[in-house]
Structure 1
Amino acid sequence: FFQPLGVRVALLAVEVWSQGDLVRVGSSGRAALERFLRWRHRDLLPRLPHDNAQLLTGSRFEDVAVGMSAQASMCSPERSGGVSMDHSVSVLVVASTVAHQLGHNLGMSHDSAGRRCQCRSLYQDRSCIMDSPTGFLPGFSFSNCSRQDLERSLRQGRGWCLSNVPELPRLVNISLCGNGFVEAGEGCDCGLRLVRARVPRCPPRCPRAAHGASCPQDCADPCCNSSSCQLLPGAQCATGDACCHDCQLRGAGSLCRAARGECDLPEFCDGRSARCPPDTFLQDGQPCSSGRARCAAGACASLEGQCQQLLGAGAGPVSSSCMAALNSRGDERGHCGQLPNGSYVACAQGDAGCGRLQCQRSASDRVPGTCLGTPVPAGDDVSTATAMVLPGTACGPGKVSAAPGGTPCPGWHRRGILMCVPPCQVCLQQRCQDATALDTEQCRNKCNGHGVSWADVEGMGGRELAPSCVPPLPQVCNNLGHCHCERGWAPPSCTSPGGSALPAGLLLGALLLLALLLALCCLRRAGLHKRLCQLGKGTSCQYR
């Protein structure tokens, strides 16, 4: 399902509860999702690091069709997951339901009639995967709208956790030449996929298949022997790796992953590995959205962007007074979090802008004299109850501006005739706190005058920062707390000559590979693997 989007789903573990459910499911899909997400964050993540978890249950939900998930939550420790009913005897149909929930986690919205979405499938009478769920006629392919939603989500920095490839020994995977993973003893693996032959004989470059039976596809890598999974003589690397060109390693400093979104950082080849180093992003607290917000976990946490990610283009936050009224309720429709027993916590007056994300779909939804928060259509499979304001968001809409004569935050200074006014208070742990709690100065002060400046990063990543909003020490640090060094200076503190404008921490990439439960390896179509495939068995696909 995800291969045409350039996404590989890697399965780390399957946990079967044979001695009783560890999470009470019940008949409400919304309640089951909230309980499952709390269990995942409290119990599963500490013992098994992963990006996403999906619960498959035999229970029947009364309030949703066949599943439930949290929108645009893929890299969130608190919200990345979904629940699906085992509602069909067909494995493929249930797999489509799980793919639908994963699509929501990745930021995909429903393919509504007004969007005019199209998808290609061998089964033309079926719908697209992200069509509104009915339990019948499941989709077998993602639409052009889903692709656009995914790309927008990545540009906004929502997929920062997807580029770090999981450790192969931890995957639930049979070691086999041709499965698309380079395992112990292999120099390459172009990922053969056996399909029924549509031609009388197989291509000569793919000799593994018996004549007239089935022909391997996706094995035309000029660098790799597809039969032995070894590099051909003279080849240093295999086609598809981001730091490999014409079977040779690309030089140190070659761009292999461009910055996606304002709070991301570009990655560069190190000259020794064919793989692009693990993804890094700006350290929490760096300004974004023209100084109106701050970066947190690789995303620019503006309320407008969060509402549009949740409800689509044109959506925006409610007024400050409306948000305060809603989030002081202390129920499912407005709160500042939940206790272990599931009860909701009402927001204190000063923290109301850090509670549940309260949005309206468009300006036409605004009725004078009314206060309506995020709508929850009956039967919808997207949970908005768990959509909380992201860390780093300014505490409430309409509170941040950059204007002449404004009052700057501590540690910021006048540039030209404007005074920079980044948010002095941001949301952290559902509370409105001083932005200094994000603490970015410690790293900036360690760059020794040779860190990459904001102007350099703006040029590399195409970001748009207000000219008045620059820190007094314009050195850029990544999420590892390391400096992004100038060309000719080596990380992590830029004190010694060397390097090729490589961000600190990239040479330590092996230490960053996390084992993932449902790790989504986000593979650029022009980058890591042009066409990954897996061995087909019988007439149904096997999903990893």
Structure 2
Amino acid sequence: MRAAWAQGLLPGALWLPVLWTLLSPACCSYGPPGWRFTSSEIVIPRKVPHRKGGIKMPDQLAYSMRFRGQRHVFHMKLKKNLLPRHLPVITDSNQEGMQEDYPFLPGDCYYYSYLEGVPGSLATLDTCHGGLRGRIQVDDFTYEIKPLETSSTFEHVISLLVVEERGEASQRCDIGEEETKPVFEDLELLGSPRAGTYYLWRKHPKDTRVMYIVSYSYINHFKNQTLVLEHVMIINSIIDTIYKPTGFNIRVRFVLLWDTTDAVSLEINNAFAFLRNFGRWMHSTWQHRVSHSISVLIAGQLIAEKNHYAVQGAICNDRWAVLFVAARRFHVFLASTMIAHTLGHQFNMAHDSPHCLCFRRTHCLMTPVPNLQDTISNCSYPATHQWVLKWDTCMWQLNVPYESFRYVAPRCGDKIINQLEDCDCGSFKECASDKCCGTDCMFTPGSKCNEGDCCQDCKFSPPGTICRDIGGICDLTEYCDGQSEKCPNDTYIQDGTPCSPRAVCMRGNCSDRETQCQALFGRNIKDGAAECYKQLNMIGDRFGNCGMKSQRGGPRIVKCSKENFMCGMLHCSGLSNIPGGGEHTAFRHLSVRYEQVEHHCFGYDAHFGTELPQMGMVVDGAMCAPGRFCFEKNCTSHVDLNFDCDVRRCNYKGVCNNNHNCHCMPGWKPPTCEEKGQGGSEDSGPPGGRQQRLRTYIHVDMHRIIPLMLARLILYLLSILAGAIPAIKSAVTNRLFKVVPEAKPPKKPPK
């Protein structure tokens, strides 16, 4: 007979396995945590004064602490602009709508760090909540540091983090190893080579603006949105540290929380199909609202039995710049590494092979089995380098989710002419020198204007006064109309009008290839041989192309066709020395051979990051074939420009302007130049007669000559004064210290 306590316990004990079996699919289907701490130690960080050249650096900190058996100094540099000033956090509301909030999230407390005297060490720390928190990487060891709760002496705990070993097959990343699907064919354009004239000559940081989406399962697991947002900030900061050496800044664009339900179903048995659905939803819902570089889904469950997945080389693509990572059972440090690894695939990085190396690490970021790696290998740098050298708006835009405009109440003195003001000369001091505009923002008595190209002595310039003279043989003169202080809009001869034997007018300029070569390299320089254009521009590389075709994901270099090779990159000849093109430019010298004759081809490349023109390309308007000229890298004819204004329409007494109106020669009246008149066009303003034009030139010249004459007169007077000063000084000295001559003895009288 059993004891009473045994009889009472047996029924519950028998039911326990049954309850565990029923509950385990719901509670534990995702498995236990995939990480653990193997050791911990208590440290007390001591702040070290951080100075550089005797100057205190406000964005840098240094802490000294003892761990791993010796004292280490952590040097910390503040990460700036990691997240926008007002970060939008969007959540699902109970009414199936979106609610937008701007919670306070400190952005000036995240640091990039390293250990003094420990090569290859790397740390991502923050001081957002008091004390030091973050990840420390020393060789292959990953540590977590955080403040010790309830400590009154600034104690911190540093713990060694390890990832639980599982089967390599379940951990292995298979992105890029599967058979390429037909839908990826368009994405091959994303791997375009470096741009010709858009080539970057040195590393320029680019902003990868990330939109983070957090799934319902992840939020429901932690049941704390503040903690979830903190995870997102930590993850982004660690990824930013990993990609810092490549020239990419990883920025938080905004955060979307699926806190009631997942907008895109995660219950799917194909990872690629999920990315397709997720990308379509992002494109239709958010791409047109807030532009971003990539969308990252942080999920709380496996998707199609995968921890992470992305499309190879698809960043900046409207529909495929998406990835997911199932991060619930992983430490936030491991989740960061997995996202960084998957992001690497978006940058078209391949998995590291056995010969790939990174400094003081056994495995690098793109190892086929992601772990806690934090360093990019020598094999992965070329892929990132290609992206750094590419032009794409999704990598160059500032990380500002929404444009904001300050409201400024209109007032007199702001130098903006408002509705009730005649003029606005600014402050009292500025208005003191303006005789046309008073401090009450009204014209002074008798004044009609105070500024403008057609305003002279507070009055409108007489009709026919030249307000914008010609800038070249393809430009036209504009005249004041006597009714306004403004000069008419700039006009020029219609594009396509011949202006020289080798060029036509284009946007007011007349330039052929030889003129362009001389402008770049000096006199006596000639246009390059036709073989330079034919052999180089039809290759389609940095040294010869027909420009770039802009597209999301990076521009694609365009090689010239047989019809357009004379309209691509400019090639010159006759250079005897290497010129200096200035900052962000590069000089090139190539040679080609045709029929046993060697031709030397010289040219320039300009860095597109500056505001330099595309000086390395043939200008529009240069002749490329008989009766044809270059226009937007194509050898075209007048028909393609809608050249519909013939000089016969102007009776051979004028030319057509860019508005397709006749600009008549002096002595003929617009619009048809048939009757006698003053000349000009309906767009240029009425030109004055010969005497008026002469008065205009005299007026302009006198404004230039009078200051010059006054300056010369002042210099002349100063030179006279400077020469007279020594003579005056000598005369004054002699007068004050006059020397009395000795008295001569009297002459003896003659005997």
Tell me the TM-score normalised to structure 1 length.
Answer: 0.43
Bigger-Rg structure (1/2): 2
By percentage of residues, which structure has more strand?
2
